[in-house]
Amino acid sequence: MSEVIVITSGKGGVGKTTTTANLGVGLAMQGKKVALVDTDTGLRNLDLLLGLERRIVYTLVDVVQKRVGYGQALVRHKKYENLLLLPTSQVADKTAIEPEQMLELTQVMRNEFDYILVDCPAGIEQGFQTAIIGADRAIVVTMPEVAAVRDADKIIGRLQAENKDSHLVVNRIRPQMVKDGTMLDMTSINDILSIPCIGQVPDDEKVVDSANRGIPVVEWDDSVAGQAYRNIVRRICGEDVPFQTFETDGWFTRLRKKLFSHH
Amino acid sequence: MRQEIVQLKGSRYGLQLVFSPETEFKTIRADIQRKLESGSRFFRRGTVIQLVPGVLSSEEEASLRKLFNQHGVLFRVETMEKPATRRPMATLPLTPASPAKAAPAPAPAPAPAAPPAEKKAPVSETATPAVKPEPQPGTKAVAKPAPEGETMLVINRTLRSGQEIRTPGSVLICGNINAGAQVIAGGSIDIRGTCRGLVHAGAGGDTSAFIIADRLMPIQIRIADRIATLPDGAVKTPAVAARAFMKDGKITIEPMER
């Protein structure tokens, strides 16, 4: 059994690449054979988040243009042998890969991997079409914010038109703001998007640190976001995992923040 | 004040091109071109401009059509006084979202039949002896876009941002209309769910069209040629269903039970 999952969002900056890196490492930690395909040609980042930038020799563009086989372009993860990255070119642009070429590639790669995660670029143009074409299903990443939810809605409509099931991951939730009523809560988001939610990831400073170090937070035991990603991985594997309830600040922390904030 | 060479006479079914018969075609064309290029609000993309037949030669008509089309404006040579031959949705090139569902019943009166979904022969003047078109130049036409008993389009899904439904008749939506989605109907719109997008009922000019939603909180409501918006700021989820309709020339929203 192999599954191709595209990670998409419509809007940029909501955490598609971070989600791809974390789910990829998380699935590899579960012993699955995983390939991560970066389709954000020209603006590749997935290699950075995995700490694999220096090891890239060939790219997705070389593969679809038949200069090399995909096996030659795959970069093996330093810690997890069963995790491989197919990076894309930083110099070419999205027109370098036709959707049909991507479809062909994912169909061939299916034979070798349990999971193929495709990191989709922002937008709804050719890059999006290329990323989704070979996917069995989609994970739509959004943030509790009107613009991100609006764009996610558009993307879900496009995915439904292509007969692809989608699941939702809500990223960068700030529990205290939700509690105060200044951030969209899960009820409102589900009300608008009405697709099954498989992840609620709290905002976590450690994600920034982890990107700099090239070690996704899913590996970090002390990260709340890492815990959320581990739960998503288990849900992808078919386990029924209840959603975490996030801790909000206690009265003392809130008082301290109020006293020392400059806003 | 100088007399305009070309004027646009508005009716609820579209805009009619009017000019003095003595004016040379070259002058007319140049004036239209100037108007199109100046970005006048009359020439928004998707606007339909009509011209009474027989005023210009067919080459001249073709030349104007080409000019209008370049600016995204539709140009039709047809009379506005005869409702039986006039398309009911003159301002909107309506195509049913799903032709299979939207087949309109053969209506007895001046029937607004959607061409793609048509099963019977197109309704012509000779085929409608029941209603004789009244020769009243310049008055509004009598055709109602969605007569009683006409098939209603039923949409059994949520419309998401960027999706659009256009229908010449009425529409029932069992699902939500999300922000960024649009529903444009010649008749009325009934939403069994939450309406957050843009809804336009009576798009052909039917002021008796209305909009009902379980939770009516749209970005914009349009009925016939009127536009209403909700006040800016956070919109609260309404507790009861509401109906929007035209009352004394204004769009009015009233709570309702159902």
pLDDT, tens digit, 9 for 90 and up, residues A81-91: 999 999 999 99
Contact B161 A151 (CB under 8 A): yes
pLDDT band with cut points at 50, 70 and 90 for residue B14? low
User: Phi, psi at residue B176, to the nearest 5°?
Assistant: -95, 160
The Cα A141–Cα A18 span in angstroms is 10
Contact B158 A151 (CB under 8 A): no
Contact B196 A194 (CB under 8 A): no
Q: Which residues 80-119 of chain A have a CB within 8 Å of chain B?
A: none
Per residue in B133-179, pLDDT (tens digit) is 334 444 343 444 445 556 789 999 999 999 999 999 999 999 999 99
Instruction: Give the model's pLDDT for residue B33.
Output: 81
Contact A150 B194 (CB under 8 A): no
A206 in contact with chain B, both atoms CB, cutoff 8 A: no
A76-82 contacts at long range (C-beta below 8 A, 24 or more positions apart): A77/A25, A77/A28, A77/A50, A77/A52, A78/A51, A78/A52, A80/A25, A80/A28, A80/A29, A82/A28, A82/A31, A82/A32, A82/A33, A82/A34
**pLDDT higher than 70, residue A126:** yes
Instruction: Give the model's pLDDT for residue B105.
Output: 38
The Cα A125–Cα A41 span in angstroms is 13
Instruction: Give the model's pLDDT for residue A246.
Output: 82
Q: What percent of chain B has pLDDT over 90?
A: 35
Per residue in B15-24, pLDDT (tens digit) is 777 787 778 8
Instruction: Give the model's pLDDT for residue B82.
Output: 43
* CB–CB contacts below 8 A, A to B: 28
B182 in contact with chain A, both atoms CB, cutoff 8 A: no
Instruction: Give the model's pLDDT for residue B8.
Output: 74
**What is the crossing angle of helices B25-37 and B58-70, to 10°?**
10
Chain B interface mutation, best of A153, A155, A158, A194, highest count of B Cβ atoms under 10 Å: A153
Query: Which strand ranges, in their side-by-side order, compose the sheet holding B6-11?
Result: B6-11, B14-19, B48-51, B74-77
A192 in contact with chain B, both atoms CB, cutoff 8 A: yes
Per residue in A142-158, pLDDT (tens digit) is 999 999 999 999 999 99
**pLDDT higher than 60, residue A120:** yes
The residue ranking higher by pLDDT, A33 or B136, is A33
Instruction: Give the model's pLDDT for residue A39.
Output: 97
Picking from A153, A160, A191, the nearest residue to B161 by CB comes out as: A153
DSSP codes, A113-159: -SEEEEEPPSSSSHHHHHHHHT-SEEEEEE-SSHHHHHHHHHHHHHH
Picking from B163, B179, B196, the nearest residue to A157 by CB comes out as: B163
The ipTM is: 0.78
Q: Which residues 185-214 of chain B have a CB within 8 Å of chain A?
A: 194, 196
Contact predicate B152/B135, CB 8 Å? no
Residues making up chain B, counted from first to last: 258
Residue in B closest to A154 by C-alpha: B161
Structural domain boundaries of chain A? 3-260
Q: Which residues of B touch A153 (CB under 8 A)?
A: 160-161, 178-180
Joined together, the tokens standing for residue B2 give 């100088």
Q: Which residues of A touch B162 (CB under 8 A)?
A: 154, 157-158
Compute the half-sphere exposure of residue B114: CA atoms within 13 Å on the CB side of its CA: 31
Chain A interface mutation, best of B161, B194, B219, highest count of A Cβ atoms under 10 Å: B161
pLDDT band with cut points at 50, 70 and 90 for residue B190? very high
Give the gap in angstroms from C-alpha A41 to the nearest C-alpha of chain B. Answer: 26
Instruction: Give the model's pLDDT for residue B129.
Output: 35
Strands A115-119, A34-38: pairing is parallel
Give the gap in angstroms from C-alpha A139 to the nearest C-alpha of chain B. Answer: 17
Residue in B closest to A184 by C-alpha: B234
Give the gap in angstroms from C-alpha A92 to the nearest C-alpha of chain B. Answer: 30
Instruction: Give the model's pLDDT for residue B40.
Output: 54
Handedness of CA B30, B33, B37, B39 (dihedral sign): positive
The residue ranking higher by pLDDT, B114 or A257, is A257
Chain A interface mutation, best of B178, B196, B217, B235, highest count of A Cβ atoms under 10 Å: B178
Mean pLDDT, rounded, for B117-140: 37
Mean pLDDT, rounded, for A5-14: 96
Q: What percent of chain A has pLDDT over 70?
A: 98
Give the gap in angstroms from C-alpha A166 to the nearest C-alpha of chain B. Answer: 14
Give the gap in angstroms from C-alpha B181 to the nearest C-alpha of chain A. Answer: 9
Query: Which fold, A3-260?
Result: Rossmann fold (3.40.50)
Residue in A closest to B164 by C-alpha: A157
Instruction: Give the model's pLDDT for residue B202.
Output: 95
